[in-house]
A and B are shown apart, each in its own frame.
Chain A
Amino acid sequence: MKKFSTHLGIAAPLLKINIDTDAIMPSREMKSVSKVGLGKSLFANWRFLDRGTEKEKLNPDFILNQNEYLNATVLLTGRNMGCGSSREFAVWALVDYGIQVIIAPSFGAIFFTNCIRNGLLPIVLDEKTITILAHQVALNPQDNPLNIDLEGCVVTGPDGVIYPFELQAGDRLMLLEGLDAIDVTMKLKKAINAFKIVDVSKRPWAYLG
């Protein structure tokens, strides 16, 4: 997995609450088992008009289609971002599109972990801060990028104000070092085996085969 340390990027405010993973990656866009090339389907129902028909075109009202937000890599969203379906296709689509950071007041739990596993940094900031950042960014999106520093766990706004954020140490390390979660766990093989020896005698009924 790609390492994440700092990122300076154009931010797009999509201040809607409860953005679900159906909206991020509609099920009908998941046409293959593959994880790659899904960016073209990101927010398909909002990004395109008449999707899948001859009349298909970009929806000019959708923020990521607007010139000022061209090449946005950071999303600012409302609370409960990524709620709904567990589909990791939503995160694969975000990453493929080029989104590297999502800042929200809260996240759907499964979506949050899916982000970490794919090198996409989910940051929790309070609603008020996000509103301030969104306002500052919107004044001139291309010239008012956000600076995200995972080493120091801070977001720096366009006006230089610094907002600290928290991320669990394990998740932070996973992103900073670009670690593979399975490799990390395999180092605990002894502990897993020791657990099982005790567990089989404690809960023999839970074991099949």
Chain B
Amino acid sequence: MKHTLFDKIWNDHLVTQQDDGSSLLHIDRIFLHERTGSAALASLEASGRKVKNPAHVFCTMDHIVDTFPGRTDQTTMPGGTEFIKVTRDLSLKENITLFDLGDARQGISHVVSTEQGIALPGCTMICPDSHTCTLGGIGALATGVGSSECEHALVTETLRFTKPKQMRVIFTGEKQPSVTAKDMILHLIALHSAAGGAGYAVEFAGPMVESLDVEARLTLCNMAVEFSAFTGIIAPDAKVFEYLKGRPYAPVGESWKQAMEYWSTLPTDQGAHFDREITIDCVDIAPTVTWGTSPQHAISIDGRVPTLISEGSDSRRSMQQALNYMGLKSGQLIEGLPIQAAFIGSCTNSRLSDLRIAADILKGRKVSANVRAICVPGSTQVKLAAENEGLDRIFLDAGFEWRESGCSMCFYAGGEGFISGERVITSTNRNFEGRQGPGCRSHLASPATVAASAVTGLITDVRKLEHLA
């Protein structure tokens, strides 16, 4: 019997299969954050239940903590302090490892998970956060859940799932150097819709996926949820092993050898069955940016805002609503649109490699006078490493704000946000209405495109920046 990577991890975590086809899976790692983890812990507390295996549960402060230098428990977001305190108190009570404010390990949960070696290939991992699928980038079977499901996993170390169908997305061909994992995933979602992966676990494969470094793979898998997939996953290889070796919670010694042996058996068997296969030639991918209010509203940087499609009145209505919200017209060029803000951060694109790419563009250049530009490293470790290389100086000299780590303005929680009508070029994952501030217009793009656009004050094709300079 030929098995996929997903099959292998699934089968090795199968506690029992129910008559209705659902399966109870063992959950190896649980990560919480103060926004929704607090709700799970509070509910657990109210029910009088206990966390079954605290050694496998980790918690961070990322969602609503401020990212201003010198931050405290006080938050710009109204009511945020309660979330922080409940999380801290209950983590302590349940003996969960907490990466609190001021801890050098603090950061965005999905950045910290791999950085600390908590997420591992061949492991199952959940977090009450939809972007948990990020961790498929190192070969973990990871998925986001609600607070109730999180509570279930905390108490039982298991979760019930119905096995999804399986899709393989193969990236072939040659990739232009300016095309990043972010452009690849936006391109896929634009082609096959924000619901294109619904009901599927998606394995990303092919030479252009293998060529990505580990951090770029995390970016690719991060937006599997924006494709409505159950999760995204990539076969672990030598790059992943090298990346994980020596991380604080990664196995060591004999245990590391055993793990490597096991991980080496995980890649999909030749001839294994996928319910659906999509092949994308990377030659067709240009730097990609969104024009609308769904990640599927993505086009090449040199493309035009699409004309309204006639099929399906829902889609047409949604497109019209998106155009109105974004203040755009069909047929308009996306390149050259004036922006008022630029944001680099989030679990999608805030790792050291992302900051290096942006800094490379910003070096010796200045952010346009009309643009407010912000960089929020994905973790305190990323921030410190970047500062070690002098990247903070490059960002600051260019005119970027340099922040403490957290989710920050990836979403608006009532505190800091971009202004209504403001156009923001952003390295985040969601361009929903009001996502980064009421009435704010978000354009998703790679850190390279964000940096280039910050410099010109216009949505910019990074490939042309040399000319412009």
Contacts and interface: CB of A to CB of B under 8 A. Distances in A.
Interface of A: 15-18, 20, 22-23, 26-35, 45, 51, 78-80, 83-89, 91, 106, 108-110, 113-114, 117-118, 127, 168-170, 181-182, 185-186, 188, 191-192, 195-196, 199, 202-209
A194 to B, nearest CB: 8
A168 B432 CA distance: 31
A88 B26 contact: no
B318 A109 contact: no
Contact of A27 (B14, B195, B294, B412): B412
Given A182-B155, A205-B259, 4 more contacts: A32-B82, A80-B198, A84-B225, A110-B145
B314 interface: yes
B173 interface: no
Contacts of A181: 148-149, 152, 160
B106 interface: no
B84 to A, nearest CB: 10
A88 B147 contact: yes
Residue with the highest number of chain B CB atoms closer than 10 Å, among A22, A113, A206? A206
A84 B151 CA distance: 20
Contact of B146 (A30, A86, A199): A86
Given A33-B38, A113-B145, A204-B258, A84 B156 contact: no
Given A30-B413, A185-B158, A203 B128 contact: no
Contacts, number: 199
B254 to A, nearest CB: 9
Contact of A195 (B15, B314, B413): B15
Contacts of A18: 194-195, 294, 296, 318
Given A109-B230, A110-B146, A199-B26, A31 B414 contact: yes
Interface stretch (B271-279, B433-441, B449-457): B433-441
Interface in B130-185: 130, 143-149, 151-152, 155-158, 160, 162, 164
A26 B415 CA distance: 13
B239 to A, nearest CB: 19
B12 A202 contact: yes
Interface in B28-52: 28, 35-36, 38-39, 42-43, 47, 49
A178 to B, nearest CB: 14
A208 B55 contact: yes
24 contacts: A23-B433, A27-B412, A31-B78, A33-B83, A34-B42, A78-B318, A83-B194, A83-B228, A86-B36, A86-B129, A88-B128, A106-B198, A114-B149, A127-B314, A168-B22, A182-B155, A192-B24, A195-B14, A205-B251, A205-B262, A206-B259, A208-B55, A209-B53, A209-B54
A114 B130 contact: no
Interface in B65-102: 77-79, 82-83, 86
B39 A28 contact: no
Contact of B36 (A22, A29, A88): A88
Closest 7 CB pairs of A and B: A209-B55, A28-B414, A169-B20, A31-B79, A205-B259, A88-B146, A114-B146
Contact of A186 (B14, B35, B156): B156
Contacts of A196: 26, 157
Nearest to A46: B433
B255 interface: yes
Contacts of A106: 195, 198-199, 228
Interface string B251-292: 100011011001000000000000000000000000000000
A80 B314 CA distance: 12
A41 to B, nearest CB: 11
A186 B393 CA distance: 54
Contacts of B199: 106, 109
A113 B146 contact: yes
A190 to B, nearest CB: 10
A181 B155 CA distance: 11
A176 B123 CA distance: 34
A205 B256 contact: yes
Residue with the highest number of chain A CB atoms closer than 10 Å, among B16, B83, B122, B312? B16
A195 B26 contact: yes
Contacts of B149: 113-114, 117, 181
A103 to B, nearest CB: 14
A182 B411 CA distance: 32
A33 B146 contact: no
Nearest to A115: B146
B18 interface: yes
Contact of A35 (B16, B43, B158, B315): B43
B120 interface: yes
Contact of A168 (B12, B16, B77, B162): B162
A86 B63 CA distance: 13
Contacts of B438: 28, 45, 51
B324 interface: no
Contacts of A195: 14-16, 26
A21 to B, nearest CB: 8
A18 B322 CA distance: 12
A27 B414 contact: yes
Given A79-B195, A83-B228, A192-B158, A22 B435 contact: yes
B19 interface: yes
Residue with the highest number of chain B CB atoms closer than 10 Å, among A16, A169, A195? A195
B321 interface: yes
B268 to A, nearest CB: 19
